[in-house]
Structure 1
Amino acid sequence: MTAKCPSVGEQEKLVEWLNLNAKASGPIYMQLAERMRAAILSGHFDSTSPLPPERELSALIGVSRTTVRKSIDVLVAEGLLDQRHGSGTYVIPRVEQRLWGLRSFSQEIRARGMNPSSVVLEKTVAQPASEEMLALGLGSEARVLRYNRLRLADDVPMAIERVTIEHSLIGDIAEIGDSLYETLAQRGRPPVRALQRISADTVSPRDAELLSVRPDSAVLVLERRSYTADGTVLEFTRSTYRADRYDFIVELTMQENGVDLVRV
Protein backbone atom coordinates (compact mmCIF):
# COMPACT_ATOMS: atom_id res chain seq x y z
CA MET A 1 0.00 0.00 0.00
CA THR A 2 1.32 3.43 -0.96
CA ALA A 3 0.43 6.75 0.58
CA LYS A 4 -2.25 8.64 -1.32
CA CYS A 5 -2.21 12.40 -1.78
CA PRO A 6 -4.42 13.96 0.89
CA SER A 7 -7.51 15.84 -0.28
CA VAL A 8 -7.82 19.60 0.17
CA GLY A 9 -9.87 19.05 3.33
CA GLU A 10 -7.32 16.57 4.70
CA GLN A 11 -4.51 18.99 3.90
CA GLU A 12 -6.23 21.75 5.86
CA LYS A 13 -6.66 19.44 8.84
CA LEU A 14 -3.01 18.40 8.69
CA VAL A 15 -1.89 22.02 8.68
CA GLU A 16 -4.19 22.75 11.63
CA TRP A 17 -3.01 19.73 13.67
CA LEU A 18 0.69 20.25 12.94
CA ASN A 19 0.82 24.04 12.98
CA LEU A 20 4.06 25.15 14.65
CA ASN A 21 4.36 28.04 17.07
CA ALA A 22 6.91 30.47 15.64
CA LYS A 23 7.59 31.85 19.14
CA ALA A 24 8.30 28.47 20.69
CA SER A 25 11.86 27.63 21.70
CA GLY A 26 13.79 24.46 21.00
CA PRO A 27 14.62 22.55 17.81
CA ILE A 28 11.93 22.69 15.14
CA TYR A 29 11.97 18.92 14.67
CA MET A 30 11.16 18.43 18.37
CA GLN A 31 8.30 20.94 18.11
CA LEU A 32 6.94 19.05 15.12
CA ALA A 33 7.37 15.72 16.91
CA GLU A 34 5.38 17.13 19.85
CA ARG A 35 2.56 18.28 17.54
CA MET A 36 2.51 14.93 15.73
CA ARG A 37 2.54 13.07 19.04
CA ALA A 38 -0.48 15.05 20.26
CA ALA A 39 -2.33 14.41 16.99
CA ILE A 40 -1.59 10.68 17.17
CA LEU A 41 -2.69 10.32 20.80
CA SER A 42 -5.86 12.29 20.04
CA GLY A 43 -6.78 9.82 17.30
CA HIS A 44 -6.42 12.24 14.38
CA PHE A 45 -4.42 9.78 12.25
CA ASP A 46 -5.89 6.53 10.90
CA SER A 47 -3.67 3.56 11.79
CA THR A 48 -4.84 1.63 8.70
CA SER A 49 -3.51 4.21 6.21
CA PRO A 50 0.06 5.48 5.86
CA LEU A 51 0.99 9.06 6.66
CA PRO A 52 1.63 11.37 3.70
CA PRO A 53 5.20 11.08 2.37
CA GLU A 54 7.92 13.29 3.85
CA ARG A 55 7.95 15.53 0.75
CA GLU A 56 4.23 16.28 1.08
CA LEU A 57 4.42 16.83 4.83
CA SER A 58 7.34 19.24 4.47
CA ALA A 59 5.50 21.24 1.78
CA LEU A 60 2.27 21.40 3.80
CA ILE A 61 3.90 22.39 7.09
CA GLY A 62 6.58 24.61 5.59
CA VAL A 63 9.65 22.86 6.99
CA SER A 64 12.48 20.89 5.41
CA ARG A 65 12.28 17.17 4.67
CA THR A 66 15.16 16.66 7.08
CA THR A 67 13.07 18.20 9.85
CA VAL A 68 10.13 15.94 9.02
CA ARG A 69 12.39 12.88 8.90
CA LYS A 70 13.97 13.66 12.29
CA SER A 71 10.50 14.18 13.83
CA ILE A 72 9.32 10.84 12.49
CA ASP A 73 12.48 9.15 13.82
CA VAL A 74 11.66 10.49 17.31
CA LEU A 75 8.14 9.02 17.20
CA VAL A 76 9.38 5.71 15.79
CA ALA A 77 11.78 5.46 18.74
CA GLU A 78 8.86 6.18 21.10
CA GLY A 79 6.81 3.37 19.59
CA LEU A 80 4.12 5.63 18.13
CA LEU A 81 5.01 5.18 14.44
CA ASP A 82 6.10 2.19 12.39
CA GLN A 83 8.09 2.59 9.17
CA ARG A 84 7.41 -0.24 6.70
CA HIS A 85 9.77 -0.60 3.77
CA GLY A 86 8.00 0.02 0.48
CA SER A 87 4.70 0.80 2.20
CA GLY A 88 5.10 3.97 4.25
CA THR A 89 4.90 5.22 7.83
CA TYR A 90 1.93 4.09 9.94
CA VAL A 91 0.53 4.99 13.33
CA ILE A 92 0.84 2.00 15.65
CA PRO A 93 -2.68 1.18 16.93
CA ARG A 94 -3.34 1.31 20.68
CA VAL A 95 -5.80 -0.72 22.74
CA GLU A 96 -8.11 1.26 25.04
CA GLN A 97 -9.66 -0.65 27.93
CA ARG A 98 -12.45 1.13 29.75
CA LEU A 99 -12.40 0.37 33.45
CA TRP A 100 -16.02 -0.56 33.81
CA GLY A 101 -17.35 -4.07 33.53
CA LEU A 102 -15.27 -7.18 34.14
CA ARG A 103 -13.86 -8.75 31.01
CA SER A 104 -10.90 -10.96 30.24
CA PHE A 105 -8.03 -9.94 27.98
CA SER A 106 -9.40 -12.17 25.21
CA GLN A 107 -12.86 -10.61 25.44
CA GLU A 108 -11.38 -7.09 25.46
CA ILE A 109 -9.22 -7.72 22.39
CA ARG A 110 -11.99 -9.41 20.41
CA ALA A 111 -14.30 -6.48 21.17
CA ARG A 112 -11.80 -4.27 19.31
CA GLY A 113 -11.78 -6.43 16.22
CA MET A 114 -8.42 -8.06 16.90
CA ASN A 115 -7.40 -11.65 17.39
CA PRO A 116 -6.14 -12.58 20.88
CA SER A 117 -3.56 -15.29 21.41
CA SER A 118 -1.20 -16.47 24.12
CA VAL A 119 2.19 -18.03 24.69
CA VAL A 120 2.27 -20.06 27.90
CA LEU A 121 5.31 -19.19 30.01
CA GLU A 122 4.45 -21.27 33.10
CA LYS A 123 1.62 -23.63 33.98
CA THR A 124 2.38 -25.40 37.25
CA VAL A 125 0.69 -26.53 40.46
CA ALA A 126 2.62 -25.81 43.65
CA GLN A 127 2.40 -24.79 47.28
CA PRO A 128 1.52 -21.09 47.62
CA ALA A 129 4.11 -18.50 48.51
CA SER A 130 3.34 -16.16 51.41
CA GLU A 131 2.12 -13.38 49.08
CA GLU A 132 -0.21 -15.82 47.33
CA MET A 133 -1.60 -17.15 50.62
CA LEU A 134 -2.33 -13.60 51.77
CA ALA A 135 -3.92 -12.55 48.47
CA LEU A 136 -6.14 -15.63 48.16
CA GLY A 137 -6.81 -16.27 51.84
CA LEU A 138 -5.26 -19.74 51.77
CA GLY A 139 -3.39 -21.88 54.24
CA SER A 140 0.03 -23.39 53.66
CA GLU A 141 -1.54 -26.80 52.94
CA ALA A 142 -3.38 -25.48 49.87
CA ARG A 143 -2.22 -25.89 46.29
CA VAL A 144 -2.27 -23.15 43.68
CA LEU A 145 -2.07 -22.99 39.93
CA ARG A 146 0.45 -20.52 38.55
CA TYR A 147 -0.56 -19.67 35.01
CA ASN A 148 1.75 -17.16 33.33
CA ARG A 149 1.23 -16.12 29.72
CA LEU A 150 2.43 -13.65 27.14
CA ARG A 151 -0.74 -12.07 25.73
CA LEU A 152 -0.83 -10.93 22.11
CA ALA A 153 -3.23 -9.00 19.88
CA ASP A 154 -2.92 -9.74 16.17
CA ASP A 155 0.40 -11.45 17.02
CA VAL A 156 1.82 -8.29 18.67
CA PRO A 157 2.97 -8.74 22.32
CA MET A 158 0.76 -6.60 24.56
CA ALA A 159 1.07 -7.88 28.12
CA ILE A 160 2.51 -10.50 30.43
CA GLU A 161 -0.16 -11.97 32.67
CA ARG A 162 0.78 -13.85 35.84
CA VAL A 163 -2.22 -15.55 37.43
CA THR A 164 -2.45 -17.43 40.72
CA ILE A 165 -5.63 -19.36 41.50
CA GLU A 166 -6.52 -22.05 44.01
CA HIS A 167 -6.02 -25.36 42.22
CA SER A 168 -9.26 -26.92 43.47
CA LEU A 169 -11.28 -24.23 41.67
CA ILE A 170 -9.86 -25.00 38.25
CA GLY A 171 -9.34 -28.78 38.27
CA ASP A 172 -7.45 -30.31 35.36
CA ILE A 173 -5.03 -27.64 34.16
CA ALA A 174 -4.68 -29.40 30.79
CA GLU A 175 -8.25 -28.35 29.94
CA ILE A 176 -7.72 -24.60 30.40
CA GLY A 177 -8.52 -22.78 27.17
CA ASP A 178 -7.18 -19.49 25.83
CA SER A 179 -9.55 -17.54 28.11
CA LEU A 180 -9.23 -18.40 31.80
CA TYR A 181 -12.50 -16.62 32.62
CA GLU A 182 -14.39 -18.67 30.05
CA THR A 183 -12.90 -21.84 31.54
CA LEU A 184 -13.96 -20.75 35.04
CA ALA A 185 -17.48 -20.02 33.80
CA GLN A 186 -17.66 -23.54 32.35
CA ARG A 187 -16.65 -24.84 35.80
CA GLY A 188 -19.52 -22.89 37.37
CA ARG A 189 -17.15 -20.44 39.13
CA PRO A 190 -17.25 -17.26 37.03
CA PRO A 191 -15.84 -14.06 38.52
CA VAL A 192 -18.56 -11.49 39.22
CA ARG A 193 -16.51 -8.56 40.52
CA ALA A 194 -12.90 -7.51 40.93
CA LEU A 195 -10.66 -4.97 42.62
CA GLN A 196 -7.84 -3.54 40.52
CA ARG A 197 -4.84 -1.37 41.19
CA ILE A 198 -2.81 0.21 38.38
CA SER A 199 0.68 1.62 38.78
CA ALA A 200 3.55 2.69 36.54
CA ASP A 201 6.93 0.98 36.51
CA THR A 202 10.02 0.36 34.40
CA VAL A 203 10.10 -2.95 32.59
CA SER A 204 12.49 -5.65 33.78
CA PRO A 205 15.10 -6.97 31.31
CA ARG A 206 13.31 -10.32 31.02
CA ASP A 207 9.88 -8.74 30.45
CA ALA A 208 11.37 -6.27 27.95
CA GLU A 209 12.56 -9.19 25.85
CA LEU A 210 9.16 -10.89 25.99
CA LEU A 211 7.27 -7.69 25.15
CA SER A 212 9.69 -6.63 22.40
CA VAL A 213 10.39 -3.23 23.99
CA ARG A 214 13.53 -1.41 25.11
CA PRO A 215 14.88 -2.39 28.57
CA ASP A 216 14.21 1.11 29.93
CA SER A 217 10.60 1.29 28.68
CA ALA A 218 7.69 2.33 30.87
CA VAL A 219 5.01 -0.25 31.59
CA LEU A 220 1.63 -0.32 33.33
CA VAL A 221 1.30 -2.86 36.13
CA LEU A 222 -2.20 -4.06 36.96
CA GLU A 223 -2.99 -6.11 40.07
CA ARG A 224 -6.41 -7.74 40.16
CA ARG A 225 -8.28 -9.76 42.77
CA SER A 226 -11.52 -11.21 41.43
CA TYR A 227 -14.34 -12.73 43.45
CA THR A 228 -17.11 -15.27 42.95
CA ALA A 229 -20.76 -14.58 43.77
CA ASP A 230 -20.33 -15.93 47.33
CA GLY A 231 -17.40 -13.59 48.02
CA THR A 232 -14.62 -16.17 47.59
CA VAL A 233 -11.36 -14.73 46.27
CA LEU A 234 -11.01 -16.41 42.90
CA GLU A 235 -7.72 -15.18 41.47
CA PHE A 236 -4.75 -12.97 42.11
CA THR A 237 -3.28 -11.60 38.89
CA ARG A 238 -0.37 -9.28 38.26
CA SER A 239 -0.11 -8.15 34.64
CA THR A 240 2.50 -6.01 32.92
CA TYR A 241 1.17 -4.02 29.96
CA ARG A 242 3.07 -2.15 27.28
CA ALA A 243 2.49 1.55 27.94
CA ASP A 244 3.07 2.35 24.27
CA ARG A 245 0.22 0.07 23.14
CA TYR A 246 -2.32 -0.01 25.97
CA ASP A 247 -4.47 2.67 27.64
CA PHE A 248 -6.84 2.33 30.58
CA ILE A 249 -9.78 4.74 30.43
CA VAL A 250 -11.92 5.92 33.37
CA GLU A 251 -15.08 7.96 32.80
CA LEU A 252 -16.08 10.59 35.38
CA THR A 253 -19.31 12.56 35.67
CA MET A 254 -20.00 15.66 37.74
CA GLN A 255 -22.73 15.34 40.36
CA GLU A 256 -24.38 18.01 42.47
CA ASN A 257 -22.29 17.20 45.55
CA GLY A 258 -18.98 16.70 43.78
CA VAL A 259 -17.33 14.30 41.41
CA ASP A 260 -18.88 10.86 41.23
CA LEU A 261 -16.86 8.04 39.69
CA VAL A 262 -19.48 6.16 37.70
CA ARG A 263 -17.36 3.74 35.69
CA VAL A 264 -14.49 1.96 37.36
Structure 2
Amino acid sequence: MSQDSTATTSAPSPAITGSAKAGALASAIAWPLASFAVLLLAWQWFVPIAGIPEYILPVPSAFFERLWTDRALIFQHTLVTANEIVLGFLMAAVISIPLGYIIVSVKLLEKAIYPVIVFFQLVPKIAIAPLFVVWFGFGLFPKVLLTFLLCFFPTLVASMTGFRALDERVLYLTRSMGASAWQTFRYVRVPAALTYIFSGLKVSAVFAATGAIVGEFVGANAGLGYLLLRGTSFLDMPLIFACLVALSFVGILFSYLVDGLEVLLMPWQRKG
Protein backbone atom coordinates (compact mmCIF):
# COMPACT_ATOMS: atom_id res chain seq x y z
CA MET A 1 0.00 0.00 0.00
CA SER A 2 1.35 3.45 -0.90
CA GLN A 3 2.10 6.21 1.57
CA ASP A 4 -0.70 8.41 0.17
CA SER A 5 -3.33 5.72 0.60
CA THR A 6 -2.13 5.06 4.16
CA ALA A 7 -2.46 8.75 5.04
CA THR A 8 -5.93 8.81 3.50
CA THR A 9 -7.20 5.82 5.44
CA SER A 10 -5.71 7.07 8.74
CA ALA A 11 -7.27 10.54 8.54
CA PRO A 12 -10.57 10.92 10.42
CA SER A 13 -13.62 11.38 8.25
CA PRO A 14 -15.53 14.70 8.35
CA ALA A 15 -18.59 12.89 9.70
CA ILE A 16 -16.65 11.55 12.68
CA THR A 17 -15.08 14.94 13.34
CA GLY A 18 -18.47 16.65 13.14
CA SER A 19 -20.10 14.18 15.50
CA ALA A 20 -17.23 14.59 17.96
CA LYS A 21 -17.67 18.38 17.92
CA ALA A 22 -21.44 18.03 18.37
CA GLY A 23 -20.87 15.67 21.29
CA ALA A 24 -18.42 18.09 22.91
CA LEU A 25 -20.89 20.97 22.48
CA ALA A 26 -23.73 18.92 23.94
CA SER A 27 -21.55 17.95 26.88
CA ALA A 28 -20.53 21.59 27.47
CA ILE A 29 -24.22 22.57 27.62
CA ALA A 30 -25.56 19.53 29.47
CA TRP A 31 -23.20 19.56 32.45
CA PRO A 32 -23.89 23.17 33.52
CA LEU A 33 -27.63 22.62 33.05
CA ALA A 34 -27.47 19.48 35.16
CA SER A 35 -25.57 21.32 37.89
CA PHE A 36 -28.12 24.13 37.96
CA ALA A 37 -30.98 21.63 38.02
CA VAL A 38 -29.50 19.82 41.03
CA LEU A 39 -28.91 23.13 42.82
CA LEU A 40 -32.48 24.32 42.21
CA LEU A 41 -34.00 21.01 43.27
CA ALA A 42 -31.98 21.04 46.47
CA TRP A 43 -33.07 24.64 47.06
CA GLN A 44 -36.73 23.76 46.44
CA TRP A 45 -36.50 20.82 48.85
CA PHE A 46 -34.44 22.47 51.60
CA VAL A 47 -36.34 25.75 52.13
CA PRO A 48 -39.70 24.23 53.23
CA ILE A 49 -37.96 21.65 55.42
CA ALA A 50 -35.89 24.34 57.13
CA GLY A 51 -39.03 26.42 57.68
CA ILE A 52 -37.58 29.53 56.02
CA PRO A 53 -40.39 32.02 55.24
CA GLU A 54 -40.89 33.26 51.70
CA TYR A 55 -40.16 36.89 52.60
CA ILE A 56 -36.60 35.80 53.46
CA LEU A 57 -35.85 33.12 50.86
CA PRO A 58 -38.44 32.08 48.27
CA VAL A 59 -38.34 28.68 46.60
CA PRO A 60 -37.30 28.55 42.92
CA SER A 61 -40.81 27.65 41.77
CA ALA A 62 -42.11 30.91 43.29
CA PHE A 63 -39.68 33.27 41.58
CA PHE A 64 -39.73 31.36 38.28
CA GLU A 65 -43.50 31.68 38.33
CA ARG A 66 -43.10 35.41 39.00
CA LEU A 67 -40.59 35.61 36.17
CA TRP A 68 -43.26 34.20 33.85
CA THR A 69 -46.26 36.17 35.09
CA ASP A 70 -44.36 39.50 35.03
CA ARG A 71 -42.34 38.62 31.93
CA ALA A 72 -43.39 41.73 30.01
CA LEU A 73 -42.37 44.09 32.83
CA ILE A 74 -39.12 42.28 33.55
CA PHE A 75 -38.23 42.04 29.87
CA GLN A 76 -38.78 45.79 29.44
CA HIS A 77 -36.43 46.61 32.31
CA THR A 78 -33.94 43.95 31.16
CA LEU A 79 -33.62 45.68 27.80
CA VAL A 80 -32.75 48.95 29.56
CA THR A 81 -30.00 47.32 31.63
CA ALA A 82 -28.67 45.33 28.66
CA ASN A 83 -28.45 48.54 26.63
CA GLU A 84 -26.39 50.20 29.38
CA ILE A 85 -24.09 47.17 29.62
CA VAL A 86 -23.45 46.96 25.88
CA LEU A 87 -22.89 50.70 25.40
CA GLY A 88 -20.51 51.02 28.36
CA PHE A 89 -18.57 47.90 27.37
CA LEU A 90 -18.23 48.94 23.73
CA MET A 91 -17.14 52.44 24.71
CA ALA A 92 -14.45 50.98 26.96
CA ALA A 93 -13.23 48.60 24.24
CA VAL A 94 -13.17 51.26 21.50
CA ILE A 95 -11.18 53.69 23.68
CA SER A 96 -8.92 51.47 25.80
CA ILE A 97 -7.57 49.12 23.10
CA PRO A 98 -6.21 51.87 20.79
CA LEU A 99 -5.05 53.86 23.82
CA GLY A 100 -3.14 50.81 25.07
CA TYR A 101 -1.32 50.57 21.75
CA ILE A 102 -0.53 54.30 21.72
CA ILE A 103 0.81 54.25 25.30
CA VAL A 104 3.03 51.24 24.56
CA SER A 105 4.29 52.74 21.30
CA VAL A 106 5.13 56.19 22.73
CA LYS A 107 7.30 55.77 25.82
CA LEU A 108 6.83 59.39 26.87
CA LEU A 109 3.08 58.88 27.07
CA GLU A 110 3.57 55.75 29.14
CA LYS A 111 5.60 57.75 31.66
CA ALA A 112 3.26 60.74 31.67
CA ILE A 113 -0.27 59.40 31.22
CA TYR A 114 -0.34 55.88 32.61
CA PRO A 115 0.36 56.90 36.25
CA VAL A 116 -2.51 59.40 35.99
CA ILE A 117 -4.83 56.67 34.72
CA VAL A 118 -3.79 54.39 37.59
CA PHE A 119 -4.43 57.20 40.08
CA PHE A 120 -7.97 57.77 38.82
CA GLN A 121 -8.56 54.01 38.78
CA LEU A 122 -7.84 53.91 42.52
CA VAL A 123 -10.84 56.16 43.16
CA PRO A 124 -13.81 53.87 44.05
CA LYS A 125 -16.32 54.08 41.22
CA ILE A 126 -19.24 53.32 43.50
CA ALA A 127 -18.31 56.32 45.64
CA ILE A 128 -18.48 58.72 42.70
CA ALA A 129 -21.67 57.24 41.22
CA PRO A 130 -23.88 59.75 43.12
CA LEU A 131 -21.87 62.59 41.56
CA PHE A 132 -22.79 61.34 38.11
CA VAL A 133 -26.46 61.60 39.02
CA VAL A 134 -25.94 65.18 40.20
CA TRP A 135 -23.98 66.13 37.09
CA PHE A 136 -25.85 64.18 34.39
CA GLY A 137 -29.28 63.40 35.85
CA PHE A 138 -31.24 60.15 35.92
CA GLY A 139 -30.96 59.26 32.24
CA LEU A 140 -28.94 56.71 30.35
CA PHE A 141 -25.57 58.47 30.28
CA PRO A 142 -24.57 58.16 33.99
CA LYS A 143 -25.07 54.36 33.92
CA VAL A 144 -23.14 54.02 30.67
CA LEU A 145 -20.35 56.20 32.04
CA LEU A 146 -20.06 54.15 35.23
CA THR A 147 -20.04 50.92 33.21
CA PHE A 148 -17.36 52.41 30.97
CA LEU A 149 -15.16 53.34 33.93
CA LEU A 150 -15.39 49.84 35.41
CA CYS A 151 -14.53 48.21 32.07
CA PHE A 152 -11.88 50.68 30.93
CA PHE A 153 -8.90 49.80 33.13
CA PRO A 154 -8.92 45.98 32.80
CA THR A 155 -9.14 46.27 29.02
CA LEU A 156 -6.42 48.93 28.93
CA VAL A 157 -3.97 46.90 31.02
CA ALA A 158 -4.66 43.74 29.02
CA SER A 159 -4.15 45.65 25.74
CA MET A 160 -0.87 47.13 26.92
CA THR A 161 0.34 43.70 28.01
CA GLY A 162 -0.64 42.21 24.67
CA PHE A 163 1.07 44.85 22.56
CA ARG A 164 4.21 44.52 24.70
CA ALA A 165 4.26 40.72 24.41
CA LEU A 166 5.52 40.69 20.83
CA ASP A 167 9.20 39.82 20.52
CA GLU A 168 11.16 42.77 19.12
CA ARG A 169 13.08 40.39 16.84
CA VAL A 170 9.83 39.70 14.98
CA LEU A 171 9.51 43.42 14.26
CA TYR A 172 13.09 43.54 12.98
CA LEU A 173 12.25 40.59 10.73
CA THR A 174 9.13 42.22 9.28
CA ARG A 175 11.03 45.46 8.60
CA SER A 176 13.84 43.55 6.89
CA MET A 177 11.24 41.88 4.65
CA GLY A 178 9.85 45.26 3.59
CA ALA A 179 6.58 45.21 5.50
CA SER A 180 4.94 48.58 6.05
CA ALA A 181 3.95 49.86 9.48
CA TRP A 182 0.28 49.11 8.74
CA GLN A 183 1.07 45.57 7.56
CA THR A 184 3.13 44.93 10.68
CA PHE A 185 0.32 46.22 12.86
CA ARG A 186 -2.43 44.35 11.02
CA TYR A 187 -0.75 40.98 10.54
CA VAL A 188 1.73 40.78 13.43
CA ARG A 189 0.97 43.09 16.35
CA VAL A 190 -2.81 42.67 16.54
CA PRO A 191 -2.88 38.84 16.26
CA ALA A 192 -0.15 38.58 18.90
CA ALA A 193 -2.07 40.85 21.28
CA LEU A 194 -5.58 39.41 20.79
CA THR A 195 -5.18 36.69 23.42
CA TYR A 196 -4.39 39.28 26.09
CA ILE A 197 -7.02 41.71 24.85
CA PHE A 198 -9.79 39.14 25.07
CA SER A 199 -8.66 38.19 28.57
CA GLY A 200 -9.25 41.80 29.56
CA LEU A 201 -12.56 41.92 27.69
CA LYS A 202 -13.82 38.85 29.54
CA VAL A 203 -13.03 40.48 32.88
CA SER A 204 -14.68 43.69 31.70
CA ALA A 205 -17.80 41.77 30.64
CA VAL A 206 -18.27 40.77 34.29
CA PHE A 207 -17.71 44.31 35.55
CA ALA A 208 -20.11 45.76 32.96
CA ALA A 209 -23.21 44.31 34.61
CA THR A 210 -22.00 45.53 38.00
CA GLY A 211 -21.54 49.06 36.71
CA ALA A 212 -24.99 49.20 35.16
CA ILE A 213 -26.75 47.86 38.26
CA VAL A 214 -24.86 50.16 40.64
CA GLY A 215 -25.73 53.13 38.45
CA GLU A 216 -29.39 52.16 38.56
CA PHE A 217 -29.23 51.72 42.33
CA VAL A 218 -27.99 55.29 42.74
CA GLY A 219 -30.60 56.90 40.53
CA ALA A 220 -32.86 55.50 37.82
CA ASN A 221 -36.47 55.15 36.78
CA ALA A 222 -35.96 52.01 34.69
CA GLY A 223 -33.75 48.94 34.56
CA LEU A 224 -33.28 45.79 36.62
CA GLY A 225 -31.51 47.74 39.37
CA TYR A 226 -34.52 50.02 39.68
CA LEU A 227 -36.82 46.99 39.73
CA LEU A 228 -34.67 45.35 42.41
CA LEU A 229 -34.94 48.43 44.60
CA ARG A 230 -38.69 48.51 44.10
CA GLY A 231 -38.97 44.87 45.09
CA THR A 232 -36.80 45.48 48.16
CA SER A 233 -39.02 48.36 49.27
CA PHE A 234 -42.05 46.05 49.40
CA LEU A 235 -40.15 42.92 50.53
CA ASP A 236 -41.24 41.31 47.27
CA MET A 237 -38.67 38.51 47.32
CA PRO A 238 -40.03 36.57 44.31
CA LEU A 239 -39.68 39.73 42.21
CA ILE A 240 -36.16 40.32 43.51
CA PHE A 241 -35.03 36.81 42.64
CA ALA A 242 -36.79 36.96 39.28
CA CYS A 243 -34.77 40.10 38.49
CA LEU A 244 -31.59 38.35 39.60
CA VAL A 245 -32.37 35.46 37.23
CA ALA A 246 -32.92 37.92 34.36
CA LEU A 247 -29.68 39.74 35.20
CA SER A 248 -27.77 36.45 35.33
CA PHE A 249 -29.18 35.52 31.94
CA VAL A 250 -28.00 38.83 30.47
CA GLY A 251 -24.53 38.33 31.97
CA ILE A 252 -24.24 34.77 30.66
CA LEU A 253 -25.45 35.77 27.20
CA PHE A 254 -23.04 38.70 27.06
CA SER A 255 -20.15 36.49 28.20
CA TYR A 256 -20.93 33.95 25.48
CA LEU A 257 -21.04 36.72 22.89
CA VAL A 258 -17.53 37.80 23.90
CA ASP A 259 -16.37 34.18 23.71
CA GLY A 260 -17.95 33.83 20.28
CA LEU A 261 -16.22 36.97 19.06
CA GLU A 262 -12.92 35.58 20.33
CA VAL A 263 -13.43 32.36 18.34
CA LEU A 264 -14.39 34.39 15.27
CA LEU A 265 -11.36 36.69 15.40
CA MET A 266 -8.87 34.03 16.53
CA PRO A 267 -9.56 30.97 14.33
CA TRP A 268 -6.05 29.64 14.93
CA GLN A 269 -7.01 28.83 18.51
CA ARG A 270 -10.03 26.71 17.64
CA LYS A 271 -9.83 23.17 18.91
CA GLY A 272 -10.35 20.40 16.41
TM-score, normalising length from structure 2?
0.22
Q: TM-score, normalised by structure 1?
A: 0.23
| Structure with the larger RCO, 1 or 2 (CA within 8 Å, 6+ apart) | 2
Greater fraction of residues in helix: 2
Greater share of strand: 1
